[in-house]
């Protein structure tokens, strides 16, 4: 007599043909997502209110209400309102969007190449974007595009890098994890070498400093004009990944499992490659090469909710948004009025936190 498999209390039944990788822990999803949303809201308020010119929470809420509703701002408050609405708010919103995008793409890349050390930059796309961005900063390329020159050039060079990686990594057997990692890493070194040559050959020291700030990530140039495209791209990428979460579960368990369930691994990797490249190129174009978010946040999400990508993709983008908002805030406060690159903060704060979580959780990619 066959016995049905037992389930732990509160665990939802699994559909046939929809494998769920074993996770390390399974915190209740809804309270966790609700808590992260609340934390993100508080983080946005702190990001808007704190800085070289401190603005109280009451004033922040009043200015935000006036900005969203078209209300009146009294003359003595115009300077503070401008700081909140025109400078800080687009910056923290863009930071949240970029953090969410990097975290979501990190989840996808780690499943795509089945490597726990993979992140959005392992494909070499961010290094390719850096070439285009530094061509604008150091050489004055695309000057006719005005304020859009940096973003357009970075995104265009990211697309070129994507095409090169795809062309070189493709084989008669499709896109395999090893070829993707090796090709992306090799081309990333080449792009970084080209960028270094441009930085050392710069005639102006200030231009070289700006280039280094961009290479390490910065949200200092954020404007409202940059937010819609980045937000739409990240949202579209997340929706697609969420719809393909069960396929990601199968792919993370191996190509044989994926093929046995009717999910061609090579075709799925092509789709993932295009989605991750588009999202990575977009966020890198507006924020620079901010590292570590796409590596750390997916692991933290798995520690909290297990390895099921349906749950991970609900938590990771929110956690990434919170992390980057606070990292950007610290980058503005630590040496105020000077500013540190955001990538420095994500590394300094993230590395020890990540190692501590790994040691305490006994965590391994996809399970214990």
pLDDT digits (tens, 9 = 90+) for 52-75: 777 888 888 888 888 888 878 888
DSSP 8-state code for residue 123 = T
**Bridge partners, 367 (sequence order):** 364
**Bridge partners, 174 (sequence order):** 171
Query: What gap in Å lies between CA 348 and CA 292, rounded to an integer?
Result: 10
> What does the domain layout of the chain look like in residue ranges?
94-358
Q: Are 346 and 292 in contact (CB under 8 A)?
A: yes
Q: What pLDDT is stored for residue 147 in this prediction?
A: 66
> Which parts of the chain sit beneath pLDDT 70?
1-27, 147, 202-206, 357-358, 360-368
CA atoms within 13 A on the CB side of 332: 23
Q: What pLDDT is stored for residue 27 in this prediction?
A: 66
Q: Rounded to two decimals, what is the model's pTM?
A: 0.84
Query: What gap in Å lies between CA 177 and CA 296, rounded to an integer?
Result: 20
Q: What pLDDT is stored for residue 203 in this prediction?
A: 64
| Burial call 293-312: b when 16+ CB within 10 Å, e when fewer | bbbbbbbbbbbbbbbbbbbb
Query: What gap in Å lies between CA 103 and CA 280, rounded to an integer?
Result: 10
User: Quick count: other Cβ atoms within 10 Å of Cβ 50?
Assistant: 17
Q: Which fold has domain 94-358?
A: ABC transporter involved in vitamin B12 uptake, BtuC (1.10.3470)
Residue 125's nearest CA partner among 267, 342, 291 is 291
Q: Are 137 and 207 in contact (CB under 8 A)?
A: yes
DSSP H helices in 217-308: 227-243, 245-252, 255-260, 265-287, 293-305
DSSP 8-state code for residue 14 = P
Q: What is the pLDDT of residues 306-315, one digit of tens each?
A: 889 999 999 9
Query: What gap in Å lies between CA 116 and CA 307, rounded to an integer?
Result: 12
Q: What pLDDT is stored for residue 365 in this prediction?
A: 52
Q: What pLDDT is stored for residue 282 in this prediction?
A: 86
Q: What pLDDT is stored for residue 204 in this prediction?
A: 64
CA distances from 21 to 25, 289, 318, 359 (A): 12, 31, 22, 21
């Amino acid at each position: 007599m066959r016995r049905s498999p037992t389930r732990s209390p509160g665990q939802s039944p699994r559909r046939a043909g929809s494998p769920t990788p074993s996770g390390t822990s399974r915190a209740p999803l809804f309270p966790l997502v609700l808590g992260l949303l609340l934390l993100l809201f508080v983080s946005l308020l702190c990001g808007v209110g704190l800085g070289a010119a401190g603005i109280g929470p009451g004033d922040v809420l009043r200015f935000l209400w006036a900005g969203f509703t078209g209300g009146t701002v009294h003359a003595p408050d115009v300077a503070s309102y401008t700081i909140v609405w025109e400078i800080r708010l687009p910056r923290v919103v863009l930071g949240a969007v970029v953090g969410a995008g990097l975290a979501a793409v990190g989840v996808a890349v780690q499943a795509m190449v089945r490597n726990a050390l993979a992140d959005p930059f392992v494909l070499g796309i961010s290094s390719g974007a850096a070439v285009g961005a530094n061509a604008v900063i150091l050489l004055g390329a695309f000057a006719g595009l005005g304020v859009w020159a940096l973003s357009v050039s970075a995104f265009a060079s990211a697309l070129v890098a994507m095409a090169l990686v795809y062309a070189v990594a493709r084989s008669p057997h499709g896109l395999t994890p090893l070829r993707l990692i090796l090709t992306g890493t090799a081309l990333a070194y080449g792009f970084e070498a080209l960028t270094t040559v441009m930085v050392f050959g710069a005639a102006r020291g200030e231009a070289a400093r700006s280039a280094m700030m961009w290479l390490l990530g910065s949200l200092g140039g954020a404007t409202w004009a940059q937010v819609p495209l980045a937000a739409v791209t990240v949202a579209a990428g997340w929706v697609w990944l969420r719809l393909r979460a069960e396929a990601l579960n199968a792919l993370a368990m191996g190509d044989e499992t994926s093929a046995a369930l009717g999910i061609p691994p090579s075709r799925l990797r092509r789709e993932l490659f295009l989605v991750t490249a588009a999202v990575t190129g977009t966020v890198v174009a507006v924020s620079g090469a901010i590292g570590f978010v796409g590596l750390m946040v997916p692991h933290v999400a798995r520690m909290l909710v297990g390895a099921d990508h349906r749950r991970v993709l609900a938590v990771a983008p929110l956690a990434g948004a919170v992390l980057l908002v606070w990292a950007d805030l610290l980058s503005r406060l630590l040496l105020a009025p000077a500013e540190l690159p955001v990538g420095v903060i994500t590394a300094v704060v993230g590395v020890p936190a990540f190692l501590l979580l790994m040691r305490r959780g006994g965590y391994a990619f996809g399970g214990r």
